[in-house]
Amino acid sequence: MLQMKIEGNRLLEGTVRIGGAKNSAVALIPASLLSDGIVTIDNIPNISDIDALNEILEYLGAKVSNHDGTMIIDSSTTINKEIPEQISKKLRASYYFMSALLGKYKHVEMYFPGGCSIGARPIDQTLKGFKALGATVKEDGNKFTIDAEELIGGHVYLDMPSVGATINTILVAVKANGETIIENAAKEPEIVNITTFLNNMGAKITGAGTSVIKIIGVEKLGSCFTEVIPDRIEAGTYIIAGALMGNNLRVENIIPDHVATLTLKLKEMGVKIEVGDDYAIVSASEHLKPVKVKTLGYPGFPTDLQQPLTTLLTLCDGTSILEETIYENRFQNVEYLNKMGANIIINERKIKINGPTQLHAEEVKATDLRAGACLILAALKARGETTITNIEHVLRGYENIEGKLKSIGAKISIEQI
């Protein structure tokens, strides 16, 4: 097990550069299987979720190289075989192989995906998309066997704008005969990144970034190059770090529109923040105003920044309310923030953060990726040395977090225990 130690209450200054988006990269890599050529993907983040996907690609027989964040994938040598349960359940994004293999071979066998334990996370909408395109789904415990004699374009109305179901349906529809329409599609920037990638390969997708996406299937997809967009959640996390302990901390390589719900909320709170073309400069501020925040699909406030933001809300002069509408179990960080001195009360899907409170060092546990980010932020603010156990969760999604935080003045180390 890995644990992180942080000596808190130190100013964060200088520049931190944001890497490629985890939630784009983890879909682009499986999507590359659909190409009959060689694809090159630039700006791949160096995180352990990518290692897990590479393992699946190599298991399937693809030729993969990854140097300095540039991945070259040749899937002409892949063999369609069952993806074993212990690999499928390593991460949520393994289920993008379900759709990529179904699109490519019209047959796939794999298991229920893994991912952070933040709610039930069913995959019914993905299966609904597959069925609408002519596939039959056989479920045997955790195992899924999905077949299609022929994939035919269809009309899919998603019950909620699920990121995963939108991407999975697109990955099958690009190889189906005829036209597919996805209604109530997710509008996240990662979806635009993936459809641009597929269109560069020769797919015909329009409407990405809106709630209606139209796909006209094609027979072949070719070679292409694409770049992973900057990670808006990593960006948001460092921006919040700046609001806690920054002295003109510059967070660069961001797309300001992608983090606008956060930066506007911080302005509402009274945080000193300047947003430029591709950067934000943030400083710690006194007497922050309490706010109300409700998580929603893009362009609403992202659920993935809800836990990191909670740390900052403990400093506000008064009571803030945070409502989580996407996941049922995304408040596991609260117990540990309270242990560090926060005053937070959970009431079903809402938390009430009574501030201001002074955070102090403690031994705490990262229960999931963003809960870990929340506790790292709390440790950066707290007096004394905080120990965060189970830090592996954080390394799944934050590239070189130790090095990046050190370079802006944090005293931080990761050790094996």
In the chain, the amino acid numbered 376 is I
Active-site residue identified among 116, 224, 316, 374? 116
Q: How many CB atoms lie within 10 A of CB 149?
A: 10
* 394, 369 contact by CB (below 8 A): yes
Rounded CA gap, 174 and 237, in Å? Answer: 34
Contact map string, positions 234 to 263, toward ligand EPU, x by CB under 6 A: ------------------------------
Residue 180 or 295: which CB sits closer to ligand EPU? 295
Residue 403 neighbours by CB under 8 Å, 6+ apart: none
DSSP per-residue codes, 241-282: HHHHHBSSEEEES--GGGGHHHHHHHHHHT-EEEE-SSEEEE
- DSSP states along 356-415: ----B--EEE--SHHHHHHHHHHHHHSBSEEEEE-THHHHTTSTTHHHHHHHTT-EEEEE
Comparing every residue's Cβ against ligand EPU, the nearest one is: 164
- How many residues sit in the footprint of ligand EPU (CB under 6 A)? 27
Whichever of 62 and 369 has its CB closer to ligand EPU, that residue is 369
Q: What angle do CA 345, 348, 351 make, to 5 degrees?
A: 35
In the window 381-400, what residues touch ligand EPU (CB under 6 A)? Answer: 397
Residue 197 sits in the site that holds ligand EPU (CB under 6 A): no
- DSSP output for 3-43: EEEEE-S--B-SEEE--B-HHHHHHHHHHGGG-SSEEEEE-
The residues pairing with 177 across neighbouring beta strands, listed in sequence order, are 152
- Among 4, 6, 12, 26, indicate the residue that binds ligand EPU (CB under 6 A): 26
Q: CA-to-CA distance for 226 and 215, rounded, in angstroms?
A: 20
**Nearer to ligand EPU (CB atom), residue 284 or residue 376:** 376
State which residue, 210 or 358, has the beta carbon closest to ligand EPU.
210
CB of residue 77 to ligand EPU, shortest distance in Å: 26
Which span sits near ligand EPU by CB under 6 A: 39-47, 68-76, 159-167, 339-347? 159-167
316 included as an active-site residue? no
Per-position x/- string for 318-337, each x denoting binding to ligand EPU as judged by CB under 6 A, each - no binding: --------xx----------
Site string for ligand EPU, 175-194 (x = CB under 6 A): -----------x--------
92 binds ligand EPU (CB under 6 A): yes
Residue 69 near residue 91 (C-beta atoms within 8 A): no
Q: Which is nearer to ligand EPU, 166 or 283 (CB)?
A: 166
Instruction: Please give the DSSP secondary-structure letter assigned to residue 78.
Output: -
Tokens matching residue 56: 């699946």
DSSP state of 184: S
Instruction: Give least dist CB 310 to ligand EPU, A.
Output: 14
112 to 141: interface string for ligand EPU, x by CB under 6 A: ----x--xxxxxxxx---------------
Among 78, 99, 283, 303, binds ligand EPU (CB under 6 A): 303
Which CB sits closer to ligand EPU, 227 or 234? 234
Give the interface with ligand EPU as residue ranges (CB under 6 A).
22-23, 26, 92-93, 116, 119-126, 160, 162-165, 186, 303-304, 326-327, 369-370, 397
Active site residues: 116
